[in-house]
Chain A
C-alpha cells in the first residue's frame, strides 16, 4: 500500500509485518491507554470536533470553497496522525485497508496477538440500528473492549481461538461483508472488520467524501471472459458498484477504478470466472489505493 507499506511494511505489505502485531510495539506506543480512552465512548466519534468542525453535514462543509479544502486536509491529517499528542476520543491515527479473505485469514492464523474476540460492529449499531457481532479484534484491543459489556455479544462464546476466528471471517465474507484490517492507532494492528457500506464509518468517509480512512486493497478483480456465463450473481455482491452485467455481450464487466479488491464477488461465482490480480501488476491501477 504505497505510503504505509514503505513506512511500516519492512519491505512488504504493512499488514503482513509481524512486528506491528506485537505487544512490545503496543507498549512502546502506550496503546492500551489510548484504546481505553477511545473505546470508553466510541459511539460519540463522529460528534468530536476537529478545529471546531464535527461530521454533521460534512458533505456540505467539504463543498465550501477554501474551507472545504482546509477541512479535508485537517481530517486526513488527523486520520493518518503519527504524532505523540493523538486524540484517542477522535480516533486519531485509526485507519485501514480492504483485504481479501485469504489475507485476513492469514493474519488471524499467523500474526494476530491473543486474545482474539468478536464483538458488535459499532458502525452498524449506530447507523442501521442492528447488532451484528462481526468485528474480530485482537491483542491489547480485546482486553480493552471486554471491559465494556455493551460491545460484547450476549449468550455466545465471544473469545475465539484462531480456528474459530478464521471460520467467522469465512462466514461473514461469504455473506457479502468486506474484510478490512485496521491500525488502531498506527502502527499497531489490532482489528479485522467485516464491513458493510454505507453504514461503515470508514467506508462512508472514503466512498462519499474521498477521505482515505480505508485504502483500496492490494488486488483488483479479473473477469475470465471465457468462463463468465452471464448469470449476474456476482453483481449483487459488490458493495462498490464495480460490477455490471451487459446484455449485449451477455457477460459481466468490471470498472477497475471502483474495484476495492475485496474479492467478495468470488463467493457468488460458480464458473471460476473471477480471480484477484495484484493491483501493482494491472496497468492503470498500480499505486492507486
Chain B
C-alpha cells in the first residue's frame, strides 16, 4: 500500500496579506532539492489577474518526489509548512 506524502501550507501565514508574501520569501522553493513546490496564481476563474498579489501562493505539487527531509519546515520563517512523509517515488522504484 502506498502511503501518500501530505504537505500542508497554512495560507493564513503564507500570503501577501500576512507578514510574508510568498513571492518575496521563496525560501521553501530554494531549499527543496527535488523542487516539489510550485508558486502560481490560484485558479479562481479561468483567467486570474496575475498582477493581483492576493492570488499568488505556493503549493506542494510533486508530492511523490518528497523525500521527507523536513528542510522546508525548518526554512519557513512563518512556520506555515507541515509535512507528513509518505512513500517517495524513489523508494517505489527501488523495490
Contact = CB atoms under 8 A, between A and B. Distances in A.
Answer yes or no: are A and B bound together in one complex: yes
What is the predominant secondary structure among interface residues of chain A facing chain B? helix
Interface string B20-39: 00000010011000110111
B2 A44 contact: no
A56 B48 contact: no
A48 to B, nearest CB: 8
Nearest to B87: A60
A129 interface: yes
Contact of B43 (A44, A58, A63, A125): A44
A43 to B, nearest CB: 5
Contacts of A204: 35, 62
A58 B59 CA distance: 14
Contact of B48 (A44, A126, A198): A44
| Interface footprint category on B | 20 to 34
B46 A127 contact: no
A59 B38 CA distance: 15
A269 B27 CA distance: 34
Interface string B41-59: 1110011101100000001
Interface of A: 40-41, 43-44, 46-48, 55-60, 63, 89, 125-130, 150, 198-199, 204, 208
Given A40-B47, A63-B2, 9 more contacts: A43-B40, A43-B50, A44-B41, A44-B48, A127-B37, A128-B29, A128-B30, A129-B30, A198-B65
